[in-house]
Structure 1
Amino acid sequence: MTVRTRFAPSPTGFIHLGNIRSALYPWAFARANQGEFILRIEDTDLERSSQEAVDVIIEGMKWLGLDHDEGPFYQMQRMDRYKAVLAELQARGWVYPCYMSVEELDALRERQMANKEKPRYDGTWRPEEGKTLPPVPEGVKPVLRFKNPREGVVAWDDKVKGRIEISNAELDDLVIARPDGTPTYNFCVVVDDMDMNITHVIRGDDHVNNTPRQINIFKALGKEPPVYAHLPTVLNEQGEKMSKRNGAKAVTQYRDEGYLADAMVNYLARLGWSHGDDEIFSREQFLSWFDLDHLGRSAAQFDEAKLRWVNAQHLKSMEDVALAPLVAAHLARHGIDADDRLSDICALFKDRCDTTVALADWAKAFYADVQASEEDRAKHLTDAIRPAIADLRERLQSCDWNKDAIGAVFKSVLADHSLKMPHLAMPVRVLVMGTPQTPSVDAVLALQEKQKVLERLQKA
């Protein structure tokens, strides 16, 4: 059997980390089992769906490297297929028209709640042997309901939650088509999963209540349902369900804030799945380890500080030539064109950074003017140190421009002025880099353009 999984988002808002985790696991399961991953856009909510949201879904998945083998398929383009299956089920007695109005349903619900009963459709229009249905009201377009079995249980072995059994007596007859004939979510999903030969449905546990209804529709169609794995909710840092309303950010915003795609995959993978005590791992390791047996059963809580730490680890281990284009993209947003020094700049500063934006902030000092704070200038650029800075500048003019030669010049100036390295290095950093804290000053100056260093030292 070829494993076939799917991600089926609704384009009714931007995609955040809680959503994208529901794409990561089915993608990983398909890749780990040499299977196929399908992208499906569930866009039947015409009022709230937007092309902009679709674009962000596709852009976010592309950035994270969650490549799909088929799709994107759009439900609105499959309406003819849904209606054909509806007609087939209706012909076989699984679907019937219901003429109960919204007002009648509301009144029924109020009566049931007053009697402390579970609110549910009472089967008024359900055809049964020996039952006389009410007269069809004039001018009313019916909904179509699925004739749910009344006996027995719906059961499945959930790969996260274990065995789940729900009595059919608890389920009422689901509306599967609106008065205008448009099929509803639970029906469309079943037809899609059936047509696309989905073997494993890995999705959020907010869909658990839909599952028994969908299983019964599968069986009415004579098909075996897929294997289900319902993922616990992702909570935000306040312990609430992650959502746009609760301050969640679009996935693409993390890219713009300087997070690495592989670090995001690493962090999201651990947000509900584990491989022993491994915290930091590559994409390749993740795919070689991933299975459904180690998915967590408890809600996972997002922690931005932990995400930044994971990102910093990936930043440190990333090849400098691969890092440079990402940093260059941030510089370009500030109108700065980088050059071939950028890889070496990344190598020198990446251990101090937790995002590529932070790395770009360091790189700016090599391509744009710097401005030290008045506090740093007052503290480090004293009258006592200015003669040594002038001497250093003089000697650097005739110095070969490399780390060793620059280091030798520093040592000679320190010896002649009876200074220790911090006494001279700190003010030089303030002038050249705008801050007293940098890596080794000779390595920093070697990456700066010689003329720019001399001009900045002149401002002592």
Structure 2
Amino acid sequence: MTVRTRIAPSPTGFLHLGTARTALYSWAYARHHGGQFVLRIEDTDVARSTQESVEQILASMHWLGLDYDEGPIYQMQRLDRYREVVEQMLAAGTAYRCYCTPAELDAMKEAQRARGEKALYDGRWRPAPGKVLPPVPEGVPPVIRFCNPPEGDVTWNDLVKGPIAINNREIDDLIIVRTDGVPTYNFAVVVDDWDMGITHVFRGDEHINNTPWQINIFRALGAPLPQFGHVPVILGDDGQKLSKRRGAVSVTAYEEGGYLPEAMLNYLARLGWSHGDDELFTREQMVGWFDGTHLSKSPAQWDAAKLAWVNAQYIKAKPDAELAPLVAAQLQKRGIVPDDRLTAICALFKDRCDTTVALAGWAAAFYSDVQPGEADRAQHVTDAVRPAIAALGDKLATVAWDKASIAVAIKEVLAAQGLKMPALAMPVRVLVMGTAQTPSLDAVLALFSREEILKRLQAS
């Protein structure tokens, strides 16, 4: 059997973190087993689906590097196929037309609740031997319902949760086609997974209640069942589920915020899966390890600080020449066009940064004027140290412009002025970089032009 997995986002909003994690697990499982990964766009919610959301989903998948073997496949382009299957089900007696109006359904469920019963469709339009159906009302377009088995349990061995059983009396005759002819989620997803040969379905555990209907539809169609794995939700800082409507942030927002895709994948993978005590691992390592086991049964807590730490580790490890274009893109958003110094700037400052936005903040000081804060200037650029700053400027005007020569000049001024390094270095940093804390002063100064350093020192 060839393993085939899929991710099937709805384009009613951005691709959020929970869906991205499910996509990662589905992708990694397929890659681990040498299988295929399919992208399907579930766009049957016509009123809320947008092309902008589709484009954001595709951009997010591309940024994360979750390459798919087939797709994107759009459900709204498959309506003829759904109609074909529905007609077969109507002919086979596994589906039927229901003419209940919304008002009738509301009254039915209100009466059930008043009797202390679970609100379920009562099957009044479901054909049965010897049963007389109500007369078909004029002008009422029907929905099509699935003949759900009335007795027995639906059972499956979930890849994450283990054995699950739900009694058929807990669910009713699901609407599979709306009055406008558009299929509902639980029907379309079964036909899609059947037609596309999906063997393993990873998805959020909010879908557990949908699974019995889907299994029953698979069986009614004589279609092979995929294996299901329902992963727990991701909780936000407030302990509530992250979702499009509540607290979630789009994947592309993290790209814009200066996170690296490899760091995001690493962090998402650990939100519900582990490989021993490994915190940091490559995409290739995850593929090698991800066999569908070691998935957590408990919800994961989103931790922005932990993500920032993971991203910082990846920034430190990333080759400077690969980091520089990412920082350049952040600088260009500020109207700054960097030069060939940027690679060296990244090398010097990346250990201090947890995003490329933060790194661009350091780099910006090399391409635009800085304005030291009044508190830093008052604390560090004092009358007592101004003679030493002027002396350093005189020295730097004539030395060879490299790190070693600048270091010698600084030491000579310190000796002549009877100062220790912090007394001179901190005010110089404030004047040059706008902050008293930077990497080694000689390394910082060497990345500027001589003329720019002399100009900034003269501002003391």
TM-score in terms of structure 2 length: 0.98
Deviation for aligned residue 1:49: 0.8
Q: Distance in 1 between matches of 2:138 and 2:335?
A: 68
Instruction: Determine the structure 1 residue equivalent to 2:268.
Output: 268
Q: Distance in 2 between matches of 1:307 and 1:147?
A: 47
Q: Distance in 1 between matches of 2:2 and 2:297?
A: 26
Instruction: Determine the structure 2 residue equivalent to 1:236.
Output: 236
One-letter amino acid of the counterpart of residue 310, structure 1: V
Q: Distance in 1 between matches of 2:265 and 2:281?
A: 10
Deviations 1:201-220 (A, max 9, x none): 10011111111111111111
Q: Distance in 1 between matches of 2:435 and 2:180?
A: 67
Instruction: Determine the structure 2 residue equivalent to 1:102.
Output: 102
User: Aligned residue pairs: how many?
Assistant: 460
RMSD: 1.2
Instruction: Determine the structure 2 residue equivalent to 1:67.
Output: 67
One-letter amino acid of the counterpart of residue 423, structure 1: A
Alignment of 1:158-197 (within 5 A): 158-197=158-197
Deviations 1:108-128 (A, max 9, x none): 111111111111111111111
Deviation for aligned residue 1:325: 0.6
Q: Distance in 1 between matches of 2:330 and 2:212?
A: 48
Q: Distance in 2 between matches of 1:244 and 1:9?
A: 12
Deviation for aligned residue 1:180: 2.5
Q: Distance in 1 between matches of 2:44 and 2:409?
A: 71
Q: Distance in 1 between matches of 2:364 and 2:135?
A: 78
Deviation for aligned residue 1:153: 2.0
Q: Distance in 1 between matches of 2:92 and 2:245?
A: 44
Q: Distance in 1 between matches of 2:340 and 2:289?
A: 38
Q: Distance in 1 between matches of 2:152 and 2:376?
A: 77
Deviations 1:263-313 (A, max 9, x none): 111111011111111112222222211121111001111111111111111
Q: Distance in 1 between matches of 2:328 and 2:198?
A: 41
Aligned residue for 1:201, secondary structure, equals strand
Instruction: Determine the structure 2 residue equivalent to 1:35.
Output: 35
Q: In terms of mean alpha carbon deviation, does 19-28 or 184-193 score higher?
A: 19-28
Deviations 1:299-330 (A, max 9, x none): 11111111111111111111111111110000
Structure 2 unaligned blocks of 5 or more: none
One-letter amino acid of the counterpart of residue 232, structure 1: P
Instruction: Determine the structure 1 residue equivalent to 2:320.
Output: 320
One-letter amino acid of the counterpart of residue 18, structure 2: G
Deviations 1:382-429 (A, max 9, x none): 222222222211121221111111111111111112111111111111
One-letter amino acid of the counterpart of residue 115, structure 1: R
Instruction: Determine the structure 1 residue equivalent to 2:140.
Output: 140
Deviations 1:203-253 (A, max 9, x none): 011111111111111111111210000111111110011124333221111
Deviation for aligned residue 1:177: 1.1
Aligned residue for 2:326, secondary structure, equals helix
Q: Distance in 2 between matches of 1:355 and 1:169?
A: 52
Aligned residue for 1:133, secondary structure, equals coil
Deviation for aligned residue 1:133: 1.7
Q: Distance in 1 between matches of 2:313 and 2:107?
A: 60
Instruction: Determine the structure 2 residue equivalent to 1:345.
Output: 345
Q: Distance in 2 between matches of 1:423 and 1:182?
A: 74
Q: Distance in 2 between matches of 1:342 and 1:351?
A: 15
Aligned residue for 1:23, secondary structure, equals helix
Instruction: Determine the structure 2 residue equivalent to 1:84.
Output: 84
Instruction: Determine the structure 2 residue equivalent to 1:390.
Output: 390
One-letter amino acid of the counterpart of residue 88, structure 2: E
Deviation for aligned residue 1:171: 2.5
Q: Distance in 2 between matches of 1:139 and 1:425?
A: 85
One-letter amino acid of the counterpart of residue 404, structure 1: A
Q: 1:244 to 1:175 in 2, by over 3 A?
A: closer
Aligned residue for 1:150, secondary structure, equals coil
Aligned residue for 1:366, secondary structure, equals coil
Deviation for aligned residue 1:376: 1.5
Q: Percent identity?
A: 63
Instruction: Determine the structure 2 residue equivalent to 1:278.
Output: 278
Structure 1 stretches of 4+ moved >6 Å: none
Q: Distance in 1 between matches of 2:242 and 2:164?
A: 25
One-letter amino acid of the counterpart of residue 444, structure 1: V
Deviation for aligned residue 1:152: 2.6
Aligned residue for 2:201, secondary structure, equals strand
Deviations 1:3-62 (A, max 9, x none): 111110111122221221121110111122221111111111111111111111111111
Q: Distance in 1 between matches of 2:113 and 2:427?
A: 77
The yes-or-no answer on 1:213 pairing with 2:227 is no
Instruction: Determine the structure 2 residue equivalent to 1:11.
Output: 11
Deviation for aligned residue 1:70: 0.8
Q: Distance in 1 between matches of 2:271 and 2:238?
A: 16
One-letter amino acid of the counterpart of residue 26, structure 1: S
Structure 1 unaligned blocks of 5 or more: none
Aligned residue for 2:365, secondary structure, equals helix
Q: 1:247 to 1:150 in 2, by over 3 A?
A: closer
Q: Distance in 2 between matches of 1:390 and 1:135?
A: 100
Q: Distance in 2 between matches of 1:255 and 1:180?
A: 39
